[in-house]
A and B are shown apart, each in its own frame.
Chain A
Amino acid sequence: MREDLLDPRAVLLHERAPDREAAIRRCGRALVEVGAVAEPYVAAMLERERSISTYVGEGVAIPHGTNASKDDILRDALCFIRFPDGVDWDGERVTVCVGIAAREGGHVPLLAALAEILMDPDRARTLREATEVAQVMKELTL
C-alpha cells in the first residue's frame, strides 16, 4: 500500500463510540483533520453506510463516501481508528475502522490491497490489538 495514504495523525488507537454512526463520524473527522476530505464527505460516509454495511470481516469496517461525494476528496487517504471496547455494527462487533477516501480509479486497488492485508490473520490481529501507531503504520504501508 502506498506510504503517503496514511498520516500518523490519522491513526487513533483508543477511541470510544456509542454506536456505528458516532464511529463513522469519528473516522470522517480524522480524514477532515489531515486535510484529505472536505466536511460534506462525512455525511456521505453516513449515507453510504445506510445503503450498505461496510463491515468486511475480522472485526473491521471500512467506512467511505458515496460515488457522488468524490468531489469532496482532496487527496486519497486512509484513517485507522481503533475502538477497543467494540462498536455494534448491525450485529457484528467492530474494533477497527479503516476510513477510506479515494478518487476515481483509486478505490478498488486500495480496497484490494487492504483486503489482502486483513486476510492474513496474524496481520489482522496485530491491527486489532495495536497499541502503538508505529505498528499500524508498518502493517498498513508494507
Chain B
Amino acid sequence: MAQRTVAVASASGLHARPAKLFVQEAARLGVPVTVRLGDKAVPARSMLGVLSLGAVQGTEVTLEADGPGAEEALDALAALLSRDLDADAEPGGNSGAKSGAEEALDA
C-alpha cells in the first residue's frame, strides 16, 4: 500500500472549488485512491466522501492506493492538495477579481 500524508493548503479547506478539482483529478487518473482522516476513509473520486471529511486548511490527510500507477496517482493528488487551489483564479477579469476578494476574506 503506497501512502502520502499531506496538509490541505487551500485557504477554504477541502470543499467547493478545491474539493471539485481534487475529485475530478482523482477520477481522471483512474486509479482507486482512498483519502483517510482519523478513522474515516473515503474514495477520492467521491465528492460527498471528500466533503464529509470536513478538512480545513492545514488538516493532514493520508492518501492511499495500491497496484499499477499508484505512486504516480498519489504524487499527482498530493501535489494538488499542497497547492492553494482557491488562489488559482479562473481566467477572466471579473472572476479573477472576485477570487481575490474571496481569498482575502478567507485568510
Chain A residues with a Cβ under 8 A of chain B:
47, 50-53, 56-58, 66-68, 70, 107-109, 111-116, 118-119
Contacts and interface: CB of A to CB of B under 8 A. Distances in A.
B47 A57 contact: yes
Nearest to A70: B105
Nearest to B56: A108
Contact of B49 (A52, A70, A109, A115): A115
Nearest to A47: B98
- Chain B interface size band reads 20 to 34
Q: What secondary structure prevails in chain A residues at the interface with B?
A: helix
B52 A112 contact: yes
A47 B95 CA distance: 9
B34 to A, nearest CB: 14
Where chain B touches its partner, the secondary structure class is helix
B72 interface: no
21 contacts: A47-B98, A51-B17, A51-B90, A51-B99, A52-B16, A52-B20, A56-B47, A66-B102, A67-B102, A68-B102, A108-B12, A108-B54, A108-B56, A111-B51, A111-B54, A113-B54, A115-B48, A116-B52, A118-B48, A119-B48, A119-B49
Given A67-B12, A108-B15, A108-B54, A56 B98 contact: no
A49 B3 CA distance: 34
Top 9 nearest A-B pairs (CB, nearest first) are: A112-B54, A115-B51, A115-B52, A67-B102, A67-B105, A115-B48, A116-B52, A119-B48, A68-B101
A50 B92 CA distance: 13
Contacts of B49: 115, 119
Contacts of B101: 67-68
A67 B106 CA distance: 7
B51 A51 contact: no
